[in-house]
């Protein structure tokens, strides 16, 4: 069954686990940690591993009918067959930012059905923010100010707020894309927070030229689209999930216009 009640229950499950994982990440940060390198040279810390155990164990216990594909398990050689519906988990998106001491990292729990992200939860530990949403359910944010619905905004007359990558700020493709457009400012930060700022109407576009992984995008894309935004490939097509190797091409995130 895939009723609205089922989707709400799965969202509530994922929100609770994302909040637990976020708290664990903050605890690791306060206690101190060692940064290691995986076989692909990307960073990993105890925070990644602890957060993933919390999320994966919780999902498998509460929803055993849904397979879980998780970044650190995949990196360790454990790849769960996804099926038509499955969870995609990135326990700490932006590990490099976390290791550097910047606040731009997040926890991702996304549900993919038939190649499309249909539910998503993203927690941003440093800002005590949690975003969630899904197809037909709307998009929501909870922070110190309370809980509220979020929505993308129309492009402002004074120009676009463009979210760029902290690590690719000098990419000439970004400069070429901006040229000739009315742009108020560019903000370069790490992790999926860029997409969330578009979803909540604090920014307007996020051009992504570099490759990402499916667990980097599933949860925030579900929130974005539930808030009225769009993520499209540079050729104009939809980003599909369940690809061999889990790698995404570049894409463009847009708000209401």
pLDDT tens track for 192-202 = 999 999 999 99
Distance set, CA 21 to CA 15, 24, 47, 50 (Å): 10, 5, 9, 8
The pTM score is 0.95
How is residue 82 written in tokens?
């996804």
In the chain, the domains with their CATH numbers are 4-149 (3.30.540.10), 160-254 (3.40.190.80)
CB 94 within 8 A of CB 84: no
φ/ψ of residue 232, rounded to 5: -130, 150
Q: Mean pLDDT, to the nearest integer, of 87-116?
A: 96
CB 119 within 8 A of CB 7: yes
Q: Mean pLDDT, to the nearest integer, of 126-137?
A: 97
pLDDT band at 169 (very low <50, low <70, confident <90, very high): low
CB 178 within 8 A of CB 162: yes
Q: Give the count of beta carbons closer than 10 Å to the beta carbon of residue 29.
A: 18
pLDDT over 50 at 1, yes or no: no
CB 164 within 8 A of CB 205: no
Average pLDDT in the chain: 94
Q: Mean pLDDT, to the nearest integer, of 199-225?
A: 97
For residues 209 and 48, what is the distance between their CA atoms, to the nearest angstrom?
Answer: 25
For 61-100, how does the pLDDT look when each residue is reduced to its tens digit (9 = 90+)?
999 999 999 999 999 999 888 889 999 999 999 999 999 9
pLDDT over 90 at 35, yes or no: no
Scan for tokens 């229950």, then name that residue. Answer: 9
């Amino acid at each position: 069954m895939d009723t609205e009640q089922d989707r709400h229950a799965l969202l509530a499950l994922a929100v609770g686990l994302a909040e637990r994982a976020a708290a664990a990440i903050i605890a690791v940060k306060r206690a101190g940690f060692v940064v290691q390198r995986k076989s692909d040279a990307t960073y990993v810390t105890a925070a990644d591993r602890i957060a993933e155990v919390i999320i994966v164990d919780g999902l498998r216990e509460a929803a055993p009918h849904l397979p879980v594909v998780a970044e650190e398990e995949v990196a360790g050689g454990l790849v769960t067959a996804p099926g038509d519906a499955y969870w995609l988990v990135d326990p700490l998106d932006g590990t490099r930012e976390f290791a550097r001491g910047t606040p731009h990292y997040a926890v991702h729990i996304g549900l993919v059905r038939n190649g499309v992200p249909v539910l998503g939860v993203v927690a941003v530990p440093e800002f005590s923010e949690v975003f969630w949403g899904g197809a037909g359910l709307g998009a929501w944010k909870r922070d110190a100010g309370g809980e509220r619905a979020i929505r993308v905004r129309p492009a402002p007359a004074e120009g676009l707020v463009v979210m760029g990558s902290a690590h690719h700020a000098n990419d000439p493709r970004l400069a070429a894309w901006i040229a000739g457009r009315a742009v108020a400012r560019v903000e370069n930060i790490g992790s999926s927070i860029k997409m969330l700022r578009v979803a909540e109407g604090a920014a307007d576009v996020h051009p992504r030229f570099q490759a990402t992984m499916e667990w980097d995008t599933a949860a925030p894309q579900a929130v974005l689209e539930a808030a009225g935004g769009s993520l499209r490939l540079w050729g104009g097509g939809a980003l599909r999930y369940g690809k061999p190797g889990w790698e995404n091409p570049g894409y463009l995130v847009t708000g209401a216009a």
